[in-house]
Amino acid sequence: MNLPPDIDLSRNRKVDQLFPFWVKRDGLQYAIDSWRRHEQYEQRNREYEEQRQKEEDRLNNMARMHLYDKTTYKEIARLFGYANPKIVSHLLKGREGQLIRAWHKNREKVENFVKIPPPKFQFYLDQEVILQEMCAMHMGGEEMLGVLNQLINLGSDNEKR
């Protein structure tokens, strides 16, 4: 099959898998046209998604400026080319709420992590375990003292002989 150089079926997408079916059912030219239409549609979607992400980032930056840097809506409107500060206020109202909720959520996560250690370390901070360890160390300390005293006594017994 002689394909034009712009058609690449190696990515194994759904449209690439349908290409042989279209060739068999409707002919090579229909399959090429369908594949190109799909490529144009995907390209438009990619461009739209990039543009949407840029706009999203821009609005988030504006909201952060207002919340954290205390920049006025009037100043933000002037910096970003809006004619009316009320438009900026309207655009940022929901975003500021999202940023505040995210901040509270992150703060709670940090506080919970500080209050409740991860399961790996919870064993070490359990009061019952600490008490058992202290008792074991205390008892072990008494036994070690007894052994040391016996060794000292053995040493002094050998000197007497």
Per-residue pLDDT reduced to its tens digit, 124-137: 777 777 777 777 77
Q: What is the number of other CB atoms lying within 10 angstroms of the CB of residue 12?
A: 8
* Domain shared by 63 and 123, yes or no: no
pLDDT value at residue 161: 53
* Domain shared by 27 and 57, yes or no: yes
pLDDT value at residue 119: 76
* Domain shared by 3 and 37, yes or no: yes
* Domain shared by 68 and 106, yes or no: yes
Instruction: Write down which residue in 115, 131, 146 finishes a domain.
Output: 115
pLDDT value at residue 158: 56
* Domain shared by 133 and 81, yes or no: no
Residue 56: which of 86, 98, 85 has the closest Cα?
A: 98
pLDDT single digits (tens) 29-86: 999 999 999 999 999 999 999 999 999 999 999 999 998 899 999 999 999 998 999 9
The span from the CA of 161 to the CA of 130, in Å, is: 47
* Domain shared by 102 and 126, yes or no: no
pLDDT value at residue 30: 92
Q: Whose structure tokens read 């940090």? A: 110
pLDDT confidence of 109, banded at 50, 70, 90?
A: confident
27 — alpha (psi -120 to 50), left (phi > 0) or beta? left
Two structure tokens written together for 77: 């409107």
* Domain shared by 102 and 122, yes or no: no
pLDDT value at residue 120: 76
How many structural domains compose the chain? 2
* Domain shared by 155 and 96, yes or no: no
The span from the CA of 43 to the CA of 50, in Å, is: 11
The per-residue pLDDT of the chain, averaged, comes to 84
* Domain shared by 9 and 42, yes or no: yes
pLDDT value at residue 153: 79
pLDDT value at residue 155: 60
* Domain shared by 83 and 18, yes or no: yes
Q: Which run of H or of E encompasses 71?
A: none
CB 74 within 8 A of CB 106: no
The span from the CA of 130 to the CA of 124, in Å, is: 7
* Domain shared by 3 and 46, yes or no: yes
pLDDT value at residue 159: 57
pLDDT value at residue 111: 85
**DSSP per-residue codes, 4-66:** -TT---TT--HHHHHHHHHHHHH-HHHHHHHHHHHHHHHHHHHHHHHHHHHHHHHHHHHHHHH
CA 37 vs. chain centroid, Å, equals 36
The span from the CA of 87 to the CA of 81, in Å, is: 11
pLDDT confidence of 157, banded at 50, 70, 90?
A: low
Two structure tokens written together for 9: 């079926």
Q: Which domain holds residue 83?
A: 1-115
* Domain shared by 83 and 23, yes or no: yes
